[in-house]
Homo-oligomer: A and B are copies of this chain.
């Protein structure tokens, strides 16, 4: 069960803090509602996931049990192995997923006490090429429509450099110097971003054994 199709992804999403059905679904593109429903039900039977009634009355929220949390070492071992040995594939370039991961990995204690909006422009895409990362005292969010707030930073790059940066395979400083990434905004915001809000992948420290060209 733990290794069945999509379950590792679902558990990762729960570990990352997803709680509702659609949050889990959004962070698992390609997964159908039918299958997610079936998996969650099965994970509940296996005591890995617990359901709680939503305050709103409609639907439930999903949470890992102690048993489920303890799957983290398994997922970490898988992630480390993948980072070390697998090439960067097309599917890892999905900017929404990269930014989703970025948003989840910014430490709560590093969140600003005011709202910050960072726009990401993907120069190699023609549609769905603009995303917004919102950092607020209460949480972090990624959306692909203008959130209606002023933008504090604008991050311009292509999908591949974005993924490589997040995976720690290019340093942000070098990428800025080489023009792979551009960052616009006030000096103060840039500094905050570079020091606190990078949200590097959990496996950014893993040294790949194979050259991904």
Contacts and interface: CB of A to CB of B under 8 A. Distances in A.
A78 interface: yes
A186 interface: no
Nearest to A65: B85
A71 interface: yes
Contacts of A85: 67, 70
Contact of A73 (B2, B67, B80): B80
A84 interface: yes
Given A3-B3, A8-B3, A77 B81 contact: no
B71 A74 contact: no
- Interface SS, A side: helix
Contact of A78 (B2, B67, B80, B81): B2
A76 interface: yes
Interface in A64-106: 66-67, 70-71, 73-74, 76-78, 80-81, 84-85
The winner among A4, A81, A209 for most chain B CB atoms within 10 A is A81
A184 to B, nearest CB: 41
Interface string A122-154: 000000000000000000000000000000000
Contacts of A73: 77, 80-81
5 contacts: A2-B81, A3-B4, A3-B78, A74-B78, A74-B81
Given A3-B8, A66-B209, A74-B74, 13 more contacts: A2-B78, A3-B3, A3-B4, A3-B78, A70-B81, A70-B84, A71-B81, A73-B77, A73-B81, A74-B77, A74-B78, A76-B77, A77-B77
Interface of A: 2-4, 8, 66-67, 70-71, 73-74, 76-78, 80-81, 84-85, 209
